[in-house]
């Protein structure tokens, strides 16, 4: 199971970039238009998280045992056949996150099956091992995708990742290149450079998101190491002093997953250096006003493989993208755009396979 890579992905990418200069991906402008009643990145980010109802089709949970003795929980939409979409949630997310509930419902409505992979410890029960999940851990998604392909060798398989899950998805696509089992991928609101995301979340109103997520992370770490006979990376009473992502990643993420420190973790786990090696058709949906990321973290076209399209919107926030004429009739553009992207190829692939 992969933890930290053995060489610097940033250096590898910078060395390879000149040879790709004449054959690169695209950066295009999104058609998204924000709702007039949700101006600014923070309202776009908070509305779906705080206000949106989260009904879902009846889901089936499966526990997948891992070779290292740990487990992953998968949640499946109804159905036993048809194209399949693997969904990866964001930091401290789950199947109950607003974006996960929305895309699972939207995919099911259009005749596509969806399976959400909970990262270790995110399904409501602490995982068994001291290690957990992080933004660059691609071993688990590779294991799940390989298992899905083994079970269903003749159906189209796509991937959708949000935020941290989007970073994991893109990094994995770049690592595996032409050996990746997906037919198509979509990544949303990705922290393409983790160091710049950490910088942004220490500024202005974005500190509120940092505080909220860190409370959840500290609670998760404390609950696991109190309930299982495991050696914690620090005294648990010291968790309360970890008030920034850099502090948390230095004290918890790095030592648990084989990194020297937060700087090493960010450099080796960011997905941006891997974008030039992706061979699966991939769409990245990103807002320039994302309060989780600085504008300079976005790549140039020269960094994108020909299979990659970066679709930029001036507005949209972080996993927001809410439109609609009136507040009582909002439209959640993200899942409309994702289904629009996936549905034709997935249905075509199914027809070809059958």
Q: Which residues on neighbouring strands pair with residue 309, listed in sequence order?
A: 26, 283
Distances in Å between the Cα of 4 and the Cα atoms of 121, 138, 144, 269 are 19, 9, 19, 8
Q: Of 315, 330, 331, nearest to 39 (Cα)?
A: 315
- Among all residues, which ones are annotated catalytic? 163, 290, 318
pLDDT over 90 at 285, yes or no: yes
Residue 2's pLDDT band (boundaries 50, 70, 90)? very low
Which residues are CB-contacts of 173 (< 8 A; sequence separation ≥ 6)? 180, 182, 185, 274, 277, 278, 279, 280, 282
Residue pLDDT, tens place only, 62-89: 999 999 999 999 999 998 778 999 999 9
Closest CA relative to residue 85, chosen from 50, 105, 114: 114
Strands 60-65 and 71-76: antiparallel
Mean pLDDT of the region 197-225: 97
Burial of 255: CB neighbours in 10 Å, binned 0-12, 13-18, 19+: middle
Q: Are 324 and 354 in contact (CB under 8 A)?
A: no
pTM: 0.91
Instruction: Give pLDDT, residue 349.
Output: 54
Contact between 335 and 319 under an 8 Å Cβ cutoff? The reply is no
Q: What pLDDT is stored for residue 22 in this prediction? A: 52
CATH classification (class only), 9-353: alpha beta
The label of the residue with tokens 């992953």 reads 72
Q: Does the pLDDT value for residue 352 go beyond 80?
A: no
HSE-up of residue 40 (Cα within 13 Å, Cβ side): 5
Residues 173, 201, 291, 334: is their CA dihedral positive or negative? positive
């Amino acid at each position: 199971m992969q933890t930290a890579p053995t060489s610097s992905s940033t250096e590898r990418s910078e060395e390879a970039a000149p040879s790709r200069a004449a054959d690169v991906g695209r950066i295009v402008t999104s058609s998204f238009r924000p709702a007039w009643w949700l101006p600014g990145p923070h309202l776009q980010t908070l509305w779906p998280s705080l206000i949106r109802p989260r009904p879902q089709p009846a889901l089936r949970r499966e526990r997948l045992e891992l070779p290292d003795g740990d487990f992953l929980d998968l949640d499946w939409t109804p159905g036993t056949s048809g194209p399949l979409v693997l969904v990866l949630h964001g930091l401290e997310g789950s199947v109950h996150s607003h974006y996960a509930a929305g895309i699972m419902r939207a995919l099911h409505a259009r005749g596509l099956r969806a399976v959400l992979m909970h990262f270790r410890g995110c399904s409501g029960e602490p995982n068994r091992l001291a290690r957990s999940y992080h933004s660059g851990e691609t071993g688990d998604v590779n294991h799940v995708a390989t298992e899905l392909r083994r079970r269903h060798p003749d159906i189209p398989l796509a991937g959708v990742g949000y935020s941290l899950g989007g970073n994991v998805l893109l990094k994995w696509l770049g690592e595996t290149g032409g050996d990746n089992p997906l037919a198509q991928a979509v990544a949303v609101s990705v922290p393409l450079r983790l160091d710049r995301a950490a910088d942004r979340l220490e500024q202005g109103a974005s500190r509120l998101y940092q505080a909220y997520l860190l409370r959840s992370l500290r609670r998760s770490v404390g609950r696991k190491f109190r309930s299982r006979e495991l050696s914690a990376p620090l005294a648990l009473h010291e968790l309360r002093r970890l008030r920034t992502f850099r502090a948390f990643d230095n004290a918890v993420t790095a030592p648990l997953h084989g990194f020297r420190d937060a700087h090493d973790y960010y450099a080796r786990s960011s997905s941006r250096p891997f974008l030039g090696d992706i061979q699966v058709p991939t769409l990245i949906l990103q807002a320039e006003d994302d309060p989780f990321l600085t504008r300079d973290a976005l790549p140039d076209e020269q960094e994108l493989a020909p299979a990659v399209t970066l679709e930029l919107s001036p507005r949209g926030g972080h996993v927001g993208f809410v439109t609609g004429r009136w507040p009582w009739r909002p439209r959640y553009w993200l899942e409309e755009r994702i289904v629009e992207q996936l549905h034709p190829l997935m249905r075509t692939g199914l027809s070809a396979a059958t």
